[in-house]
Structure 1
Amino acid sequence: MKRLNFLFFALPLLLVVNVICAQSLVLSQRTASQTAIVIADNSTQPTSKAAKELQKYIKKTLSIDVPITNNGNAKNQIIIGQGDYIKSMAPEVNTSKLGTDGYTILTKGTKLIIAGGSGKGPLFGVYTLLEKYFGCRMYTADVMKIPKRSSLTIPAVNLTEIPTLILRDVFYLGAMDSSYSDWHKLIHARSTNSSLFGIFAHTGFQIMPPKQYFNTHPEYYSLVKGKRQPLQLDPTNKDVYNILLGWLNAKIKNQPQYNYWSVSVEDNGSYCECDKCLPVINNTKTPGGPTIALANNLAQNFPNENISALAYSYTRNPPQNMKLAPNLNIMYCPQPKNYVSSYQGDDYAEMHNQFDGWQKLTKNIFVWDYVIDYSALESIHPNLLILKPNLQYFVNKGIKGYFAEGNIFPDGEFAELRAYLLSKLTWDPNLDDNAVIDDFLQGFYGDAAPSLKRYIQLTSSQLTGNNKLTESMINNYDDLFDAAMNSVKNQPVYLKRVQKERIPLQYSAVQAYLDEASKDPDQFFNNTQKYNNFNTHLEGFLTSVKQCGIKRLVHNENNLPLYQFYSDWKNKMSTLKSKSLMKK
C-alpha cells in the first residue's frame, strides 16, 4: 500500500491521506437525541451493513441508541455512503479514487463522514473507526474487546486509506468467518463472504475430471514415462483447449461477479512429455512452458477478465521466448526452505531470480505464500517476526494480491495470533508488527502476555536456520510457560488459552528427546534425567490436549487421533530403551 500524509510524502505500501480539521464530534447520553446515522434511501448492502454495525457498537460501548435515517435533520450526523450520495454530502471527497475497498473518514463541522469505494469501502471505514477511535478489537470471531465508556470524542480528522493488494486472503480457520473477514478487510480468493475467483487453485481436473474423460479420451491427459496418465491435462491438446474455452465462456457469462479464473496445474510434479509438449518445453526452457502457454492463449479470448495460472512446482520458473497477455495473472508460489528464514536473505537467491524473471514478463502477479509447515503443524514454528518482512519483500516489488496459506485446522502454534497479524499486514504491510503482536497478546492472554512475548522472541532468535531444539532451550521455554500459566492461574479462560499454546512446545520437546535417544540410545538412557524429562513432556502433552478438548492432531497433512501420537511416542521410546538394555 502507499502511504501519504497531507504533504503527499510517499511511502511504498498504503495510500493514506491524513489531514487535520477543525472540529471534533462528541457521542454521549447528552448528545444522543441530537445524533443520527444517515444513509441514502437506496443504499448498497455494504453501506446498510456499515450503518447497522456502527449503530450496534455505539450501543455496546456507550449504551445509547442512535437511529439510522435517510434524512439529515439531526445536529450531529454520521453520514455513510458511496458514489453520488457522498458527492452531494461532501463534494470534497473524490470517491472515484477510493477504488473498491478504500474509504475516507472526515469530520466536517458537526458531521462525521465515512465515504467508501464501490465495494466494501463503507464497511471497512466503519471498522477502522471502531478500532482507531472506539478502541474495539476483534481478536477472533468469538473474542472481542469492546471498551465501555460514558462519552466518546472523535477528534477532527480527514483519513483516507486505499489498499494496494486487491487479494488479501489469510487461509486460517478463524479468518474464514464472515464477520472476522469483514472486520479485518479480507478479500478471499474463494469464500462464502467474498471471492475474487470464479475457480481457484489446482483447477484442471475441476473442469475436466479424469472420471469423466480419461477412459474415452486418455489423450486429454499427460504422457508421463511413455504412458498416458491422469496426472495433469495435456496442455497442447486442441480438444483440451476447446473444452476449457467453452467452460470458461459459459461460467464468465453466468457469474460476472468474479474477475479471476484459475487454469492451473494439479498438485504434483508430473508434466506432459508428449511430442507436442516437448518442443514448447525446449523453446521456453521450462517444463511449465506448455501450461503457461495454454493459460496465456485462453486469456486472449477474455480481455476483460483475468485468467490466472499457478507458478508452482514445475511451472515456478518463468518461460523464455513468450509474451504474456496483460490479463494473464500469475499466482507465484515461493518455496520456503525452512519456513523460518527471511525471503530477503541470500538463501533465497533462486527465488529472487525466479520472481524477477516473472516481473520482466508481467506486472499482473499475486503471491501464494506458505506461512506454516504442513509437515509439522503442531510443532514450534518461530516465524512470527518474519511474516512482515516476507510480505514486504513482494509488496515492494509490486504484487497485486497475497494469499497466505496457513493452518485451516483448529490448532497449531499461535493460530489466532497468526491469523490476526497476517490480516492486519495484508491491509497495511507497513504497520508495526510488534505493536500488533503486543496488543493481541495482552487482549487474548491477559497477564500472561509478557512471558509469551519473551517466548516468541527467544524461539524466533534461537530456532533459526538448521538450529535444533536443545534441552537448555526446552528448560528455558518451560520456565516461561510456567510463569505465563501462573500469572493467569485464577483466570480459567486465559489459562486454557495459554495451555493450548504450550502444546507445540511439549510436542517438539517429546520429538527432540526421541531424536536424541534414536541417535545414541546408550548415552540417552544412562542419563536418567533426560528420560524423566521425556516422560514429563509426554504426559504434559497428553494432559494439555485433553484439557483443551483436542481429540485429533495434524501431522504431514493427516488428521490423526490423539491416542495415536501418544502411543506411538511411548512405544518408540520403550523400544529404544529395550534395545539399549539388551546390549548390557
Structure 2
Amino acid sequence: MIDTQRFKTVQLAGMPITDYIIVHESGAAPERAANELCSYLEKTVGMKLSVSVDAESSAKKAEILVGKTNRESSGWPMLDRTGFTGMAEDGFIIAVKDGRLILTGGNHRGTFYAVYEFLEQMIGWRFFADDCEVLTGPDELDIAEGTFDCQKPVLEYRDTHWNDYYPVPIRVKRKLNTGSKWADTPDETWGGTFEYAGTFSHTMCEIIPEIGNGEGQPCYTDPAVLERAIAWVRKTADAHPGARIVPVTQNDNWNYCQCERCQKVYDEEGSPAGVIIRLANAVADSIRDDYPELSIDTFAYQWTRKAPLVTKPRENVIVRLCTGGECRNHRYDDTSCHFNQTLHIDIAQWAAITKRLFVWDYTTNFSYFLVPFANIGQLHHNLRWMRDNHMSGIFSQGNHLCKGTELGPLRAYLLAKIAWDPDLSDETYSAYMDDFLEGYYGAGWKNIRRYVDLIEECGKNRHVTIYGRPEYILDRRKYVSACPEIEGWFDAAEK
C-alpha cells in the first residue's frame, strides 16, 4: 500500500520546491538516489522535477544537490564538512544553504540515507515495510534556510534480519547496511553493503567439508586446519573483492575436539573459545599485509561464548557474540532474572579484550512464530545495554523463513530504528511504535496498540526463551480472561 491520494505544497528556502531542479553527483548510485528523490517528490507535490548530472548542468540557485557534487569542489555553495572526515562512512548531511538543498553522505549509502531521511523527517513520508509507505503530516510545508542535520551511525554494522525486511529498497530506507545469504543484497547502484564474503555463518564446514555442519568440529589446534583456513579465506576474499569481513566460524554443534592438545588450551584459557581465537588470530596475521581492509569474524557461541583468559583477538578480528538461552520477557540488564546472569558476565569479559564486538541477537520464538511474544518492550533496552557494553554491530534475527510472524513488520521497523540510534528514549520508541501502527493499520490502530500493551502485561514475571512453549510465554489466566476484549479490539480495528 502506497498512500498518494493527496498533494502537498512545499516551500524550500522561501521558494516553491517545484521551481527546483535535482542535480546529482556522477555515478550510478547518486543517479538512483536522485531519481528516488524525484519519484517521491512527484508523489508529494504532483509535479516531476528535472534531474541531471552535475557535470552536464550549469550551476543555478534553485538546486537540490544529491551526493558530493562538483558544486562543492568549486566552493559554491560552501558546505562545511567539519567533522565529516573520519565520520562513520554511512553518515550524512541534510542542509539548506544559500537557497540550495544539499543531501550528501560519507559514502553512497550515506547519500541514500540523506535522501530518505529528508523525505521522512521533512516531507512526511513513512517507509514502514516494502508494501506499506504512507505520506503523513500537514499539507503545507516550509523548509527554511539554515536547516541542518548531520547524522552518523553508532554501530558500524546493522542488520534487522526479518523476512519482512529482505527486499533491497526497504533495507536501504531503514539504513540497514548489509545483505546475507537470506536477505537481498544491495548492489553498488543502491550504495553497496558492509559485506560479509561468502557464507555468513558456520563456515568451518566449508573450510573442512568432510566434517558436516551438524556433525562435529575439526581440531582447531591442528596446523593442517589452520593452513586450510588461510587458503579458504584468501580464495573467498579474492572472489569478493569489495568484502570487508570473511567469517571463520565454528560448526553449529557442541561436539568440540577433546584431544590432548586442545584440552591443554582449554585449561590455559579457562574456555574452549581459546582455540577459536588463536586460530582466528593466526589467520588474521597471515592476511593482514595482502588484505589490509579485511577483517576475520568468529563466533562467541555455544561452547565458545565464554571469553578466553589469556589470548586477545587481534585488531582485525571481530568477535560475534550470540545470545541464546536468555529470557526475552525480561531486559538483558535485569540480573534478577537468572536466565540473563551469564550474558552479563560473558559480554563484559569479551568487551574487555576486543575493540570490535558484534552481537547476533535472537528476537523471536523460533518454535512458534505465530504465538504472541512479549519482547517488544525490551528490544530497545536490550540493544542500548549491549551498545553500552561496547557492541559495535548488531544482527537481530527474527523469522527469516517467511512473512506472517506475530507483529513481524512492527518488530523489524523498531529494530531498524534502534540499530541506527540506540540512544533513543522510551518516549521516542513508543512514538515510533504508534507512528507505525497508525500508518500500517489505519484508523483503528489504537486497538492494535492496546493488544500490544496487553501482551507485554501478560508477559510480566514470566520467563521465556527463544524456543519457549506457548503456555509458558504469557500469564494464561490473564490472557484468556482478556480474549473477549481482544476480539472486540480486532473487530473495531477492521472497521
TM-score over 0.5 (shorter chain): yes
Out of 231, 234, 245, the position equivalent to 1:246 is 231
Name the residue aligned to 1:480: 486
Alpha-carbon displacement from aligned partner over 1:343-394 (angstroms, at most 9, x marks no partner): 1111323211111111121111101101112122221101101100000001
Q: Residues 83 and 457 (structure 1 numbering): CA distance in 2 closer, same or farther, change over 3 Å?
A: same
1:68 maps onto 2:51 in alignment: yes
Q: Is 2:271–2:304's contact at 8 Å kept on the other side of the alignment?
A: yes
Aligned length: 447
Q: Is 2:281–2:317's contact at 8 Å kept on the other side of the alignment?
A: yes
Name the residue aligned to 1:451: 447
Name the residue aligned to 1:429: 422
Determine the C-alpha separation between the residues in 2 that align with 1:334 and 1:99: 26
TM-fit CA distance, 1:295:
1.1
TM-fit CA distance, 1:75:
3.3
Out of 35, 59, 75, the position equivalent to 1:52 is 35
SS at match of 1:486: helix
Identity %: 26
Q: Residues 241 and 474 (structure 1 numbering): CA distance in 2 closer, same or farther, change over 3 Å?
A: same
1:280 maps onto 2:265 in alignment: yes
SS at match of 1:323: coil
Alpha-carbon displacement from aligned partner over 1:123-171 (angstroms, at most 9, x marks no partner): 1000000000111011110111035987542234111000021111011
TM-fit CA distance, 1:236:
1.3
Q: Residues 372 and 205 (structure 1 numbering): CA distance in 2 closer, same or farther, change over 3 Å?
A: same
Name the residue aligned to 1:86: 72
Determine the C-alpha separation between the residues in 2 that align with 1:162 and 1:448: 36
TM-fit CA distance, 1:475:
3.1
SS at match of 2:352: helix
The letter for the 2-side match of 1:405 is Q
Q: Is 2:448–2:493's contact at 8 Å kept on the other side of the alignment?
A: no
Name the residue aligned to 1:555: none
Name the residue aligned to 1:205: 205
Out of 344, 352, 362, the position equivalent to 1:352 is 344
Name the residue aligned to 1:77: 63
SS at match of 1:196: coil
Determine the C-alpha separation between the residues in 1 that align with 2:457 and 2:12: 45
Q: TM-score, normalised by structure 2?
A: 0.85
TM-fit CA distance, 1:234:
1.6
The letter for the 1-side match of 2:227 is N
1:25 maps onto 2:21 in alignment: no
Of 92-101 and 347-356, more deviation after overlay is shown by 92-101
Name the residue aligned to 2:383: 391
Out of 329, 338, 358, the position equivalent to 1:366 is 358
Out of 298, 315, 334, the position equivalent to 2:283 is 298
TM-fit CA distance, 1:59:
0.5
Determine the C-alpha separation between the residues in 1 that align with 2:45 and 2:295: 46
SS at match of 1:261: strand
Alpha-carbon displacement from aligned partner over 1:393-415 (angstroms, at most 9, x marks no partner): 01122221100011112222100
TM-fit CA distance, 1:306:
0.9
SS at match of 1:127: helix
Name the residue aligned to 2:89: 100
Which runs of structure 2 are paired with 1:26-425 in the superposition (5 Å)? 28=16, 32=18, 34-40=19-25, 43-69=26-52, 70=54, 71-82=57-68, 86-88=72-74, 89=76, 90-94=78-82, 95-147=84-136, 152-156=141-145, 157-188=147-178, 190=180, 191-193=184-186, 194-199=193-198, 200-210=200-210, 230-303=215-288, 304=292, 305-346=294-335, 347=337, 348-408=340-400, 409-425=402-418
SS at match of 1:138: strand
SS at match of 1:375: coil
Q: Is 1:106–1:159's contact at 8 Å kept on the other side of the alignment?
A: yes
Q: Which blocks of at least 5 consecutive residues in structure 2 are unaligned?
A: 1-10, 187-192, 464-471
Of 60-69 and 83-92, more deviation after overlay is shown by 83-92
Q: Which has the larger radius of gyration?
A: 1
Of 92-101 and 350-359, more deviation after overlay is shown by 92-101
Determine the C-alpha separation between the residues in 2 that align with 1:352 and 1:435: 29
Determine the C-alpha separation between the residues in 2 that align with 1:481 and 1:186: 36
Q: Residues 148 and 270 (structure 1 numbering): CA distance in 2 closer, same or farther, change over 3 Å?
A: same
The letter for the 2-side match of 1:108 is K
Alpha-carbon displacement from aligned partner over 1:63-89 (angstroms, at most 9, x marks no partner): 112111222444311111138763444
Q: Residues 314 and 67 (structure 1 numbering): CA distance in 2 closer, same or farther, change over 3 Å?
A: same
The letter for the 2-side match of 1:448 is G
Determine the C-alpha separation between the residues in 1 that align with 2:234 and 2:260: 29
The letter for the 1-side match of 2:480 is I
Determine the C-alpha separation between the residues in 1 that align with 2:416 and 2:70: 31
Determine the C-alpha separation between the residues in 2 that align with 1:183 and 1:35: 24
SS at match of 1:300: helix
Alpha-carbon displacement from aligned partner over 1:412-459 (angstroms, at most 9, x marks no partner): 210010111111111112231101100011111112211211221122
The letter for the 2-side match of 1:198 is A
Of 392-401 and 466-475, more deviation after overlay is shown by 466-475
Determine the C-alpha separation between the residues in 1 that align with 2:349 and 2:179: 25
Q: Residues 323 and 430 (structure 1 numbering): CA distance in 2 closer, same or farther, change over 3 Å?
A: closer
Of 297-306 and 76-85, more deviation after overlay is shown by 76-85
SS at match of 1:139: strand
Of 264-273 and 462-471, more deviation after overlay is shown by 462-471
Q: Residues 368 and 474 (structure 1 numbering): CA distance in 2 closer, same or farther, change over 3 Å?
A: same
Q: TM-score, normalised by structure 1?
A: 0.73
Q: Is 1:287–1:315's contact at 8 Å kept on the other side of the alignment?
A: yes
The letter for the 1-side match of 2:347 is F
Q: Residues 65 and 319 (structure 1 numbering): CA distance in 2 closer, same or farther, change over 3 Å?
A: same
